[in-house]
Every structure is written in structure tokens, then in C-alpha cells.
């Protein structure tokens, strides 16, 4: 949890953040990676942003998909998080490609969300300093969702969401093209096993 100016922050995204940072998010993902055996040490700790943060965003969505958001206020926080991710994409590309000013970035946040002022200021600074981070987050999430849907369609009633997650996480962080190849190989092995 970001506790910077904690008394000025909204609480609606607490559950969403918990799924992103905790379970089934980064805590789970990084714990699995660090416990891998028979891989070089760097594979246990490598952090491809699109994979790592893509999994974090995917975990937020997974909370909704499996019915964890019981409170409308928390589900609103999840939706607010989605809006924030869209704003981040605009702000990130705006500053680095369109040469938006800091004031334009702040105004864009204010005009399109109810995000607390402390968070707006921190987010603007973040995207000034870290080009394309917003793109990496979203690209990773969308790729994992795409791969899940691809596997679900290919395997039909043999699709197991938990087994899919094992395939995504059980090799540590991967470049997205390598993850795609891994999921394709898993689908092929499941199809072959089902035909026997």
C-alpha cells in the first residue's frame, strides 16, 4: 500500500490494490518465482515489467472474475483503477510523445477521475520519470487475458483456470512472446493428452 500522504487518499481502491500487490498478485507471483528449482538464479528474480505488472493488473481483474469483490464500493475502486490505467496511458504518451506539460497532465487526471490529489501528483511524477511504464502494465494484462481466452477456446470444457495460472507463473517472469509460446505448448500438450 502506498502510505505517502495516507490521510489524503481514497479508500475505495484498497481491495483492488490488495489483489494487485498481494494475493493473487505480486506476492504470489514473486514467491513462486523465488522458489523455482532447476533454473538459473537470475530467472528467480528477473522482472520483465510487462509480465510482472501485467500479472498485477490481471490479478485485479481476476478478483472480479472469480467473485471476490463483494462490496459495491470496492468494485467501484476496481473500476476507478481501470480508469486510472487509461489515464496513465494518455499521460505517459502525452508527456513523452506529445510534449504535454506537467500542468496538462495534472489537469487530465482531474478532468477524468476522482483520484485524490496526492496520488495525482505522485502519478504525474512517475510517468515523467518512467517512460512507457503505463504501456507495459496494460500490454501485459491484455496479453495474459488474450492467452487465457485462447486457451479456453482451444481446450473447451477441458480448460482449467488454475492449470492455466500454473503455466503463466511456474517459470518466473518471462518476455510476453516466450509466455505465448509456453501457453501454446501447454495447449498442445493438453490437447494431445485429451486425445489419448
- For 77-129, what is each residue's pLDDT tens digit? 999 889 999 999 999 999 999 999 999 999 999 999 888 898 899 999 999 99
Per-residue pLDDT tens for 122-169? 999 999 999 999 999 999 999 999 999 999 999 999 999 999 999 999
Q: Contacts by 167-172 with C-beta closer than 8 Å and gap 24+?
A: 168/55, 168/144, 169/28, 169/29, 169/32, 169/33, 169/55, 170/32, 170/36, 171/36, 171/39, 171/43, 172/32, 172/33, 172/36, 172/39, 172/43, 172/44, 172/46
Cα three-residue angle 57-6-94, rounded to 5 degrees? 50
Mean pLDDT over 12-40 rounds to 93
As given in the structure block, the three cell numbers for residue 49 are 515489467
Domain ranges across the chain: 11-195
Placement of cell 482451444 in the chain: 154
Tally: H helices and E strands in the chain: 10, 0
- Residue pair 161/73 in contact (Cβ under 8 Å)? The answer is no
The DSSP element (H or E) to which 6 belongs, if any, is none
Q: Whole-prediction pTM value? A: 0.91
Amino acid at each position: 500500500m502506498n502510505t505517502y500522504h495516507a490521510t489524503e487518499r481514497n479508500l475505495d481502491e484498497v481491495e483492488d490494490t490488495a489483489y494487485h500487490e498481494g494475493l493473487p498478485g505480486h506476492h504470489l507471483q514473486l514467491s513462486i518465482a523465488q522458489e523455482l528449482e532447476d533454473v538459473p538464479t537470475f530467472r528467480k528474480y528477473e522482472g520483465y515489467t510487462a509480465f510482472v505488472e501485467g500479472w498485477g493488473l490481471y490479478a485485479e481483474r481476476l478478483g472480479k472474475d472469480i467473485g471476490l469483490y463483494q462490496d459495491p464500493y470496492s468494485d467501484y475502486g476496481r473500476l476507478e483503477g481501470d480508469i486510472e490505467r487509461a489515464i496513465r496511458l494518455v499521460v505517459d504518451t502525452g508527456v513523452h510523445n506529445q510534449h504535454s506539460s506537467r500542468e496538462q497532465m495534472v489537469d487530465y487526471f482531474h478532468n477524468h477521475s476522482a483520484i485524490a490529489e496526492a496520488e495525482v501528483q505522485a502519478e504525474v511524477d512517475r510517468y515523467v520519470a518512467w517512460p512507457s511504464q503505463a504501456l507495459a502494465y496494460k500490454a501485459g494484462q491484455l496479453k495474459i487475458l488474450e492467452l487465457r481466452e485462447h486457451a479456453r477456446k482451444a481446450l473447451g470444457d477441458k480448460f482449467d483456470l488454475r492449470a492455466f495460472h500454473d503455466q503463466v507463473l511456474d517459470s518466473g517472469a518471462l518476455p510476453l512472446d516466450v509466455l505465448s509460446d509456453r501457453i501454446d505448448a501447454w495447449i498442445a500438450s493438453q490437447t494431445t493428452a485429451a486425445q489419448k
